[in-house]
Chains A and B, each alone.
Chain A
Amino acid sequence: MNIGIPQALLYYYYYPLWQPFLEQLGAKTIVSKPTDQDIIHQGSRVSVPEICVPIKVFNGHVNELLNKGVDYIFAPRMVQVEKGLTFCPKFLGLPDMLDYTFPAHKNQMLAPQIKGTNEWSVSSQDLQKEPFFAAFDKSRLEAAWQIGVKAWNRFREICRRGYLIPEALDLYQKPDLPKVKNQQGEIKIGLIGYVYDIYDKLVGMEICQRLQEMGADLSTFEMLQDKDIDRQIDPMKKSLFWTFSNKVFGAGLHFYQQPEIDGIIHVTAFGCGPDSLSGKMMELDAEKYGKPFMTVRVDEHSGESHLQTRIEAFTDMLKRRKRLRLIELGVRS
Chain B
Amino acid sequence: MAKISFPYMGESVVAYKKIGHMLGHEVIEPPKPTQKTVDLGVKHAPEFACFPLKVLLGTYLEEIALGADLLMSSGGHGPCRAGYYGEMHRKILRSLGYEGHLIIFDAPRDHLRDFYQDLKRIKANNSWIYCYHVLKLVYRAIKIMDELEQKVSRLRAYEVKTGSVNRAWEQIQELVNQAFTLPQLEAAQKEGHNLLDSLEMIPVKEERKLRIGIIGEIYVVMENSTNMMMEQKLGELGCEVRRSQYLSDWIDFNLLPHWISHPHEAEIQKMGTKYFDIGIGGHARENMGWIDQFSNWGYDGIVHLLPFGCLPELMSQSIIPQVSKDLNLPIISFALDEQSGLANNLTRLEAFVDLIKAQKFGVKQHILQQKAAG
- Chains A and B are bound partners: yes
CA–CA, A47 and B320, complex, Å: 12
A327 within 8 A of B: no
B265 within 8 A of A: no
* Structural contact, B79 and A86, CB atoms closer than 8 A: yes
If A237-B111, A272-B48, A279-B46 touch, whether A242 touches B79 (CB-CB below 8 Å) is yes
Number of interface residues of A (CB under 8 A): 38
Mostly, the B contact residues are loop
A136 within 8 A of B: no
B319 is contacted by which of A100, A238, A284 (Cβ under 8 Å)? Answer: A100
B21 within 8 A of A: no
* Structural contact, A87 and B318, CB atoms closer than 8 A: no
If A89-B282, A89-B311, A281-B91 touch, whether A96 touches B84 (CB-CB below 8 Å) is no
B278 is contacted by which of A79, A270, A275 (Cβ under 8 Å)? Answer: A79
Which B residues are in CB contact (< 8 Å) with A276? 46-50, 81, 309
A176 within 8 A of B: no
B225 to chain A, nearest CB (A): 22
B115 within 8 A of A: no
* Structural contact, B79 and A92, CB atoms closer than 8 A: yes
Which A residues are in CB contact (< 8 Å) with B92? 280, 284
B175 within 8 A of A: no
B323 is contacted by which of A50, A93, A100 (Cβ under 8 Å)? Answer: A100
* Structural contact, A89 and B309, CB atoms closer than 8 A: no
CA–CA, A47 and B278, complex, Å: 21
CA–CA, A101 and B278, complex, Å: 18
B57 to chain A, nearest CB (A): 11
A48 within 8 A of B: yes
B10 to chain A, nearest CB (A): 24
* Structural contact, A242 and B309, CB atoms closer than 8 A: no
* Structural contact, B314 and A277, CB atoms closer than 8 A: no
B251 within 8 A of A: no
If A97-B315, A100-B323, A277-B84 touch, whether A77 touches B79 (CB-CB below 8 Å) is no
A103 to chain B, nearest CB (A): 6
B66 to chain A, nearest CB (A): 25
B80 is contacted by which of A51, A89, A240, A281 (Cβ under 8 Å)? Answer: A89
B95 within 8 A of A: yes
Which A residues are in CB contact (< 8 Å) with B79? 86-89, 92, 241-242
B31 within 8 A of A: no
CA–CA, A86 and B84, complex, Å: 14
* Structural contact, B314 and A51, CB atoms closer than 8 A: yes
CA–CA, A275 and B309, complex, Å: 12
B281 within 8 A of A: yes
Output the residue of B48, B50, B91, B323 with the most chain A CB within 10 A. B48
Q: Which residue of B lies closest to A275 (CB)?
A: B48
Closest 8 CB pairs of A and B: A241-B78, A100-B319, A280-B46, A276-B48, A93-B315, A92-B280, A89-B311, A93-B280
Given A50-B314, A89-B280, A241-B83, 9 more A-B residue pairs with CB atoms under 8 Å apart are: A89-B284, A93-B276, A93-B280, A93-B284, A96-B315, A101-B319, A276-B81, A281-B91, A284-B91
